[in-house]
Amino acid sequence: MLWTSELVLALLPFAAFNVASPTSRPRDKFDWSSKRSLIAFGDSYTYVQGTHGHQNYSFIGDQLDFSYDAQTLLSNKIVQNQTATAEGGPNWVEYLTKCGLKPGMTSPRTCSKQLWDFAFAGADISTEYTPLHHNYTVSLVNQITQFKTYAAPVLQTFLPPSKSLIAIWIGINDVGDSSKYTVDFPTFYGNLTRTLFTSVNELYDLGYRSYLLMNLPPLDRTPGNQATSTPHPNATQVAWYNDALVTKAELFGKEKGDVEVRVFDAHARLSAMLDEPAKYGIVNTTNFCAGYNQPDIDTDYKAYGCPTSLDTYFWFNSGHMTSHVHRILAEELEDWLKE
Ligand SMILES: *[C@@H]1O[C@H](CO)[C@@H](O)[C@H](O)[C@H]1NC(C)=O
Ligand SMILES: *[C@@H]1O[C@H](CO)[C@@H](O)[C@H](O)[C@H]1NC(C)=O
Ligand SMILES: *[C@@H]1O[C@H](CO)[C@@H](O)[C@H](O)[C@H]1NC(C)=O
Ligand SMILES: *[C@@H]1O[C@H](CO)[C@@H](O)[C@H](O)[C@H]1NC(C)=O
Ligand SMILES: *[C@@H]1O[C@H](CO)[C@@H](O)[C@H](O)[C@H]1NC(C)=O
Ligand SMILES: *[C@@H]1O[C@H](CO)[C@@H](O)[C@H](O)[C@H]1NC(C)=O
C-alpha cells in the first residue's frame, strides 16, 4: 500500500467524516464515482489513437503539428482496433473509463466517463534529461503545455476541473533511455520527478485538484531483461524511480494543501501477475508472441510459434503488456478507487 496521506483525508469535506450524520456516506478515492472525465498524459502505455492523431502515437497532433482548434478537438474520435494502441487492444484508460472500448470510433463526449487522452507514444518527461524518440514526439512537459494552450479552454466549457481526474503514467521511457547514464540515479530520478511535478503544477493552476499517478511496472522483468544478468533498467533503478515519485507526490500534496494526489502501485499489481500468473489466466510471462502484430494473430497464433493465444501472455512485445493485462490492471485500479 502506497501513500494514503492523513493530509488528504483531512481535506475532505467535514460531512464525509461526520459519522453521526445519517446522510454521511464514505466517499471513494478522488470521488471517482462522481467524476465525468479522465484526462490522461503519458506514453505508449496510455496513448489512444485519435482520428486527428499521429497514427500509432497520439489522439491529437504531434510536436511538429502542435496546435489545434476547438473544432478539431471536439470532432476527434478515439479509434479502437488492433493497431490503435500499443497493446493490440484496449488499454488501461479505456478499460477504466469504458470510453472507446468498442471496435470502431468513439467520440469522447458520448461517454459517461469521457476519456481525453493526450499521452504520446514514446514520450519521456522532458528533453532536459533524455532526447526525443522522434522529432514529432511530444514529451510529457509539452503534452501539458499543449493541453493548457489548446485543450483546457475548450474542455472547461463543459467539463469543470472538479469533475475531472488527471491520470499520468510516465517514466517508462525515461528510465530505459537513461539506464546506462553515469549519474547518481536516486538524484537523477529526483530531478526527473521534480520536473514532472513542475509541469503538473500548470494543471493545478488551471484548477485541477485530483491527480492519479501510476508508478513504474517491473521493467527489469521484460522478456529481454529476464534473459540477461544485466537488465536495463534493473530492479534497483525501478525502485529508486518509484521512491522518487512517491516522495514528490507527497511533497506536491503538502505544498498545495487542497489537492488529492495518489500513486497507484501498478508495480505491485503487475509483479503479482508475473509471480502467480495462473490466478490471472496468464500462462506466459517469459516471452512474447513473435506474431503479435499480425492481422490474423487472434486466430492463427500457432502459425507464429505461439503455443497459446495472445491473451494468455503477460508481454505483448518487448516492452508492452498485453491488453489482457491492461484489463486486469484497470479492474484492480477501479476497485482501489472505490475502496
Ligand atoms: C502503424 O503501425 C502499423 C502496424 O504496426 C503499420 O502497419 C503502419 O505502417 C504504422 N503507421 C505509421 C504511419 O507508421
Ligand atoms: C485502425 O483504424 C485506423 C483508423 O481508421 C486505420 O487507419 C487502421 O488501418 C485500422 N487498423 C486496423 C488493423 O484495422
Ligand atoms: C523530422 O525528422 C525526419 C526524419 O528524420 C526528417 O526527414 C524531417 O525533415 C524532420 N522534420 C523537421 C521539421 O525537423
Ligand atoms: C539534479 O539537479 C541538480 C539541480 O538542478 C543538478 O545540480 C544536478 O546535477 C542534477 N543531478 C543529476 C544526477 O541529474
Ligand atoms: C542497478 O544499477 C545501478 C546503477 O548502475 C547500480 O547502482 C545497482 O547496484 C544495480 N542493481 C543491481 C541489483 O544490479
Ligand atoms: C512463451 O512464449 C514463447 C514465444 O511465443 C514460446 O516459445 C514459449 O513456448 C511460451 N512458453 C509457454 C510456457 O507457453
Residues in the chain: 339
Q: Per the omega criterion (within 30 degrees of 0), is the bond before 108 cis?
A: no
Q: Which ligand is nearest to the CA of 81?
A: 2
Say if 62 falls within a structural domain.
yes
Q: Please check the confidence at residue 20 and state whether its pLDDT lies above 60.
A: no
d(CA 40, CA 228): 34
Tell me, what's the pLDDT at 25? 62
Tell me, what's the pLDDT at 169? 99
Predicted model pTM: 0.94
pLDDT band, very low/low/confident/very high, at 23 (cuts 50, 70, 90)? low
Per the structure block, which three cell numbers stand in for 92? 488501461
Say if 24 falls within a structural domain.
yes
Say if 253 falls within a structural domain.
yes
Say if 338 falls within a structural domain.
no
d(CA 209, CA 74): 24
Nearest atom in ligand 5 to the alpha carbon of residue 230 is 14
Q: Considering only CA atoms, which residue is closest to atom 7 of ligand 3?
A: 135
pLDDT band, very low/low/confident/very high, at 9 (cuts 50, 70, 90)? very low
pLDDT band, very low/low/confident/very high, at 2 (cuts 50, 70, 90)? very low
When divided into structural domains, the chain yields a total of 1
Residue pointed to by grid coordinates 479522465: 38
Residue pointed to by grid coordinates 514529432: 136
Nearest atom in ligand 3 to the alpha carbon of residue 135 is 1
Per the structure block, which three cell numbers stand in for 293? 502484430
Q: Please check the confidence at residue 67 and state whether its pLDDT lies above 70.
A: yes
Tell me, what's the pLDDT at 230? 98
Q: Please check the confidence at residue 14 and state whether its pLDDT lies above 80.
A: no
Q: Which domain holds residue 110?
A: 5-266
Per the structure block, which three cell numbers stand in for 176? 530505459
- Measured CA distances, 263 to 45, 48, 90 (Å): 16, 22, 22
Q: Please check the confidence at residue 121 and state whether its pLDDT lies above 50.
A: yes
Which of 80, 75, 82, 73 has the alpha carbon at shortest distance from 105?
80
- Give the mean pLDDT of 299-308: 98
Half-sphere exposure of 22 (CA within 13 A, CB side): 0
d(CA 283, CA 24): 45
Q: What is the pLDDT of residues 181-223, one digit of tens each?
A: 999 999 999 999 999 999 999 999 999 999 999 999 999 999 9
Say if 286 falls within a structural domain.
no
Q: Please check the confidence at residue 97 and state whether its pLDDT lies above 60.
A: yes
Q: Is the CB of 79 under 6 A from ligand 2?
A: yes
pLDDT band, very low/low/confident/very high, at 12 (cuts 50, 70, 90)? very low
Q: What is the CATH number of the domain that holds 230?
A: 3.40.50
Residues having CB within 6 Å of any atom of ligand 5: 185, 234-237
Tell me, what's the pLDDT at 27? 84
Tell me, what's the pLDDT at 7? 37
Q: Where are the alpha helices (DSSP H) in the chain?
A: 6-10, 70-75, 92-97, 140-146, 152-155, 172-177, 185-205, 223-226, 235-256, 266-275, 297-300, 323-338
Q: Quick count: other Cβ atoms within 10 Å of Cβ 157? A: 10
SS (H, E, C) 180-237: CCCCCHHHHHHHHHHHHHHHHHHHHHCCCCEEEEECCCCHHHCHHHHCCCCCCCCHHH
pLDDT band, very low/low/confident/very high, at 24 (cuts 50, 70, 90)? low
Residues near 20 by beta carbon (within 8 Å), at least 6 away in sequence: none
Per the structure block, which three cell numbers stand in for 237? 533503478
Say if 275 falls within a structural domain.
no
Q: Considering only CA atoms, which residue is closest to atom 13 of ligand 1?
A: 55
Q: Is the CB of 135 under 6 A from ligand 3?
A: yes
Tell me, what's the pLDDT at 274? 98
Say if 312 falls within a structural domain.
no
pLDDT band, very low/low/confident/very high, at 26 (cuts 50, 70, 90)? low
Residues having CB within 6 Å of any atom of ligand 1: 55-56, 83, 293
**Phi, psi at 261, each rounded to 5°:** -130, 125
Residue pointed to by grid coordinates 525502485: 239
Q: What is the pLDDT of residues 130-173, one digit of tens each?
A: 999 999 999 999 999 999 999 999 999 999 999 999 999 999 99
At residue 118, the 3 state secondary structure works out as coil
Say if 207 falls within a structural domain.
yes
**Phi, psi at 272, each rounded to 5°:** -60, -35
